[in-house]
Amino acid sequence: MSTYKLLLLPGDGIGTEIMREMEKITQWLTAQGIIFFETETDLVGGASYDAHGTPVTDAVVAQALKADAVFMGAVGGPKWADVGFANRPEAALLRLRADLDVFANLRPAICYPALVGASSLKPELVEGLDILIVRELTSGVYFREPKEIVTLEDGSKRATDTQIYTTGEIERIAKVAFELAQQRRNKVSSAEKHNVMASGILWKQIVTQVGKELYPSVELEHVLADNCAMQLVRQPKQFDVIVTDNLFGDILSDVAAMLTGSLGMLPSASLGNTNPVTGRRFALYEPVHGSAPDIAGQNAANPLAMIGSLAMALRYSFDRGDVAEKLEKAIINVLANGTRTRDIADGAQAVGTSAMGDAVLAELQ
Ligand code: NAI
Ligand code: MG
Per-residue pLDDT tens over the stretch 210-269:
999 999 999 999 999 999 999 999 999 999 999 999 999 999 998 998 888 778 899 999
Q: Residue 152: what residue type?
A: L
Q: Are residues 88 and 145 in the same domain?
A: no
What is the 293 CA–ligand 1 centroid distance (Å)? 7
Q: Are residues 142 and 57 in the same domain?
A: no
Q: Against a cut of 0.80, is the pTM above it? A: yes
Q: Are residues 155 and 209 in the same domain?
A: yes
What is the 196 CA–ligand 2 centroid distance (Å)? 23
Determine the Cα–Cα distance for residues 309 and 287; give it in Å rounded to an integer: 6
Domain end position, chosen among 204, 237, 258? 258
Residue 187 resides in a domain? yes
Q: Are residues 252 and 267 in the same domain?
A: no
Determine the Cα–Cα distance for residues 70 and 8; give it in Å rounded to an integer: 6
The confidence score (pLDDT) of residue 280 equals 96
Determine the Cα–Cα distance for residues 15 and 293; give it in Å rounded to an integer: 10
Segments in 187-265 forming alpha helices (H):
198-214, 225-234, 246-258
| Paired sense of beta strands 187-192 and 241-244, if any | parallel
Residue 114 resides in a domain? no
In 3D, which of 169, 238, 236 has the Cα closest to residue 207? 169
Kindly report the CATH number assigned to the domain that includes residue 73. Answer: 3.40.718.10
Determine the Cα–Cα distance for residues 100 and 317; give it in Å rounded to an integer: 14
Most distant pair of Cα atoms in the chain: their distance: 71
Q: Are residues 266 and 239 in the same domain?
A: no
How many domains does the chain fold into? Answer: 2
Residue 275 resides in a domain? yes
Q: Are residues 290 and 365 in the same domain?
A: yes
Partners of 130 in the β-ladder: 110
Which ligand 1 atom minimizes the distance to the CA of 80?
32
Catalytic annotation, pick one of 193, 204, 240, 343: 193
**Is the preceding peptide bond at 267 cis, omega within 30 degrees of 0?**
no
Q: Are residues 245 and 268 in the same domain?
A: no
Residue 116 resides in a domain? no
Active site residue 42: no
Residue 157 resides in a domain? yes
Residue 118 resides in a domain? no
In 3D, which of 203, 247, 207 has the Cα closest to residue 226? 247
Which ligand 1 atom minimizes the distance to the CA of 45?
40
The confidence score (pLDDT) of residue 163 equals 98
Q: Are residues 239 and 208 in the same domain?
A: yes
| pLDDT > 80? residue 38 | yes
Report the run of H or E that residue 334 belongs to, with start and end. helix 321-336
Active site residue 316: no
Residue 248 resides in a domain? yes
The confidence score (pLDDT) of residue 120 equals 82
Domain end position, chosen among 258, 286, 314? 258
Domain end position, chosen among 233, 258, 283? 258
Determine the Cα–Cα distance for residues 196 and 117; give it in Å rounded to an integer: 38
Determine the Cα–Cα distance for residues 335 and 327; give it in Å rounded to an integer: 13
ipTM of the complex: 0.97
Which domain covers residue 219, as residue numbers?
A: 130-258
